[in-house]
Structure 1
Amino acid sequence: MDRPGFTASLVAGGVAGVSVDLILFPLDTIKTRLQSPQGFKKAGGFRGIYAGIPSAAVGSFPNAAAFFITYEYVKWFLRADSSSYLMPVKHMLAASAGEVVACLIRVPSEVVKQRAQVSASSRTFQIFSNILYQEGVRGLYRGYTSTVLREIPFSLVQFPLWESLKALWSWRQDHVVDSWQSAVCGAFAGGFAAVVTTPLDVAKTRIMLAKAGSSTADGNVLSALHEVWRTQGLSGLFAGVFPRMAAISLGGFIFLGAYDQTRSLLLKLGKESP
């Protein structure tokens, strides 16, 4: 990928990530508390819904930037004719690679953030220090596998659907979609992907919030899903589905729209500069 494209993906991804995480943080807190083992009210209810936001703010830009740099680079590396029937596969591979790389940054931020969300009385830095003291660096990566196993199926649904909807809309109107149209496609793709991957999100939340040394803390996704199914049934597996769908639909609108708009602007500025 050329230098302007690399820089544009870096900045656009970072801007989009920060925009979404800060605007939609309250919905994410509500979703996390609905999924927590102690229940919504004991986890804080509607109080302190911005608990953990410093962790999200610190991790947002590098996390989103890492995803989109990888996503665009892999798409470029696997470059193929735009009419090829393999285009969805290319988008799936690019999105999966992006998630694996981004999760190296996302997971520590997510672990600290989610623990702060269900313990609003504790400060973010205090939670971060406690994790390092009690579990070491490994504790910050608890749930890495479950996060990747959530994000890859999510991206396998969201990004090919987003790209396909944009291509269809472009074909229908005979010109490339505008940023707001890209955002609408992103909202639909994100909301649909959010619903179908909610059980994996529940498992990830339970693993990250589990007490150190417990069987759930070991990170076995199937075991976590079975425990939720055994104790709460189908409703437990889809706990928080509505705030998650709402947050990701709105997030998809802001995130993918802001990404396309920022990247197009930066690429245009790059071409105009001497």
Structure 2
Amino acid sequence: MSLTSRVFGLFTTTENSASNPDAPSSTSQSQAAVTAGDHAFQTAGSMSSRVQTAPAYDEEEEEPRPPYLHAMLAGGTGGTCGDMLMHSLDTVKTRQQGDPTFPPKYHSMTSSYATIYRQEGLMRGLYGGVTPALWGSFPGTVIFFGMYEFTKRKMIDAGITPDLAYLSGGFFADLAASVVYVPSEVLKTRLQLQGRFNNPHFSSGYNYRGTTDALRTIIRQEGFSALFYGYKATILRDLPFSALQFAFYEREHQMAIDWMGSRDIGLGLEILTAATAGGMAGVITCPMDVVKTRVQTQKNPETTTTGPPKPPCEPASTKETPRHHQHHSSPPSSSLRAHSRYISHSSPSTSVPPPGTPRLDTSSFFTGLKMIYQTEGVAGWFRGVGPRGVWTSIQSGTMLVLYQYLLKQLDSYQNMGETSPL
């Protein structure tokens, strides 16, 4: 080895030993640093993965509470749109439930729909009574949603279980709104059952020229209290319906939120939860709806007949006989009173009604249920259940989906107003 190589090797060894006096220690420290770095990287990666996979919805998160005004406007708009959309199907249901003739003229939902449209048209037939329906729909649903949100929040804040709060909220909300919508319901059902003016295809016992004429005639001949006729039967139908509808909806909506992991469950699940809730509540309360329809559409004892001339097979009552013919024999007043509460005036000229047509000469809800069961059986309770189930499903779906959508829009508008500069 040359002298130059030895000198170079001497300086190289010295520099290495000076720069790295403890080589094994330095190696272990570097390995420890690498290990610590890898551990830190893995920890950070696992944390980031947790953040990415964590659901956006927290189960402990409090249910959103929109302002009362937003809930009332959104509910009123959604409810009115749903009622107007399904009014024609509600007319079919009213005809099926309100015609007690045996065999009934209106059978299945599709054939009844086609028959009414062919014989009476769209606006005077299927959409008869739409004006009073509009009168009662918007103010009634505005009151309903305001009272529902108020009752639900108060009960939940008091420590009551949410399911019971939803059930009670729907019950009390419908009770508050009934003062507004029951008079419109009386006008609507009578005009739906009547159909067109001077209807030659169906005799209902009524013959109003329109909504205003119906209102004036009822008040003049039956008194203002007649607008609340069947009030008990109406609330005994609507209170359990609204309670069940919103209890089903809130529970199904919460299940959809838990399943999706977010409060934004999508349009499909919004429609599904709302429609099934309304449909199940509508089918369950169909017997109450049958009694309510017949009580509100039957003729009252003291009223004069405003309908068209009766068929020749039916004897005219004393009230329709001219004065110069009153010397003829007439039935006793008690018999007249007993036979003046028919739902329809198309019965034959005998004192015994056709089989299967109960005389609901009572305003008692439970007596009406009993009478229908005795003459028609369980099938009488569920007369018109097909149209009612479809109607309540679509109406509920339309109302609640629009309700949720409008709440989001009103909330976004409010946030934009708060953040935008003056």
Q: TM-score, with normalisation over the residues of structure 2?
A: 0.60
Q: Give secondary structure in 2 for the equivalent of 1:73.
A: helix
Q: Which whole-Å CA distance do the structure 1 matches of 2:360 and 2:393 have between them?
A: 29
Which residue of the partner structure matches residue 129 of structure 1?
216
Counterparts of 1:1-274 in structure 2 under 5 Å? 5-39=67-101, 41=105, 46=116, 47=120, 48-80=125-157, 86-120=161-195, 121=197, 122=208, 123-178=210-265, 180=267, 181-213=269-301, 214=341, 216=360, 218-274=362-418
Please say if residues 362 and 368 of structure 2, whose CA atoms lie closer than 8 Å, have aligned partners that are also in contact.
Answer: no
Q: Is the 8 A contact 1:166 1:177 kept in 2?
A: no
Task: Report percent identity of matched pairs.
Answer: 30
Measured in 2, the distance between the counterparts of 1:177 and 1:92 equals: 24
Over aligned residue pairs, what C-alpha RMSD do you find? Answer: 2.2
CA separation of 1:191 and 1:238: change in aligned 2, threshold 3 A: same
Instruction: Give secondary structure in 1 for the equivalent of 2:126.
Output: coil
Distance 1:100 1:173 in 2: 34
Q: Which deviations, in whole Å up to 9, do the C-alpha atoms of 1:218-271 show, x marking residues without a partner?
A: 521011112211222221110100000001111111011111111221122223
The structure-2 alpha-carbon separation of the partners of 1:200 and 1:226, relative to structure 1 and needing over 3 Å to count, comes to: same
5+ long unaligned stretches in structure 1: none
For 1:172 and 1:4, how far apart are their aligned partners in 2? Answer: 23
Deviates more, 1:231-240 or 1:242-251: 231-240
SS at 2:189's partner residue? helix
Q: C-alpha separation between the residues in 2 aligned to 1:56 and 1:198?
A: 20
Task: State the alpha-carbon separation in 2 of the partners of residues 227 and 126 from structure 1.
Answer: 32
CA contact (8 A) 1:179 1:257 kept: no
1:127–1:263: structure 2 CA closer, same or farther, 3 Å change rule? same
SS of residue paired to 1:176? coil
Instruction: Measure how far apart 1:179 and its partner are.
Output: 6.1
From the superposition, tell whether residues 134 and 18 of structure 1 become closer, same or farther in structure 2 (CA, over 3 Å).
same
- Work out the CA distance in 2 between the residues paired with 1:152 and 1:4: 24
> What is the identity, as a one-letter code, of the residue corresponding to 1:155?
S
Question: Could you give the per-residue CA deviations for residues 139-163 of structure 1, whole angstroms, max 9, x where no partner exists?
Answer: 1111111111111221232111111
Task: Count the aligned residue pairs.
Answer: 270
Provide the rounded CA distance (Å) in 2 between the counterparts of 1:179 and 1:209. 42
Higher relative contact order (CA 8 A, sep 6+): 1
Matched letter for residue 201 of structure 1: D
Residues 80 and 137 in structure 2, CA contact (< 8 A), matched pair in contact too: yes
Match of 2:383, SS? coil
- Asked if 2 retains the 8 angstrom alpha-carbon contact of 1:169 and 1:177, the reply is no
Q: 2:407 and 2:131 mapped to 1: Cα distance?
A: 26
The Cα shift of 1:217 comes to 6.3
User: In 2, Cα distance between the equivalents of 1:202 and 1:154?
Assistant: 13
Matched residues in 2 for 1:71 and 1:217: separation?
35
Query: 1:67 is matched by which residue type in structure 2?
Result: F
CA distance in 2, matches of 1:131, 1:72: 35
Unpaired segments ≥5 residues, structure 2: 1-64, 107-111, 198-207, 302-340, 342-358
Rounded to whole Å, the distance in 1 between the matches of 2:243 and 2:257 is 22
CA-to-partner distance for each residue in 1:87-111, whole Å, 9 max, x for gaps? 0000111111111011111111110
Stretch deviating more after TM superposition (146-155 or 24-33):
146-155
Whose Rg is larger? 2
Check the 8 A contact 2:99/2:105 in 1, yes or no.
no
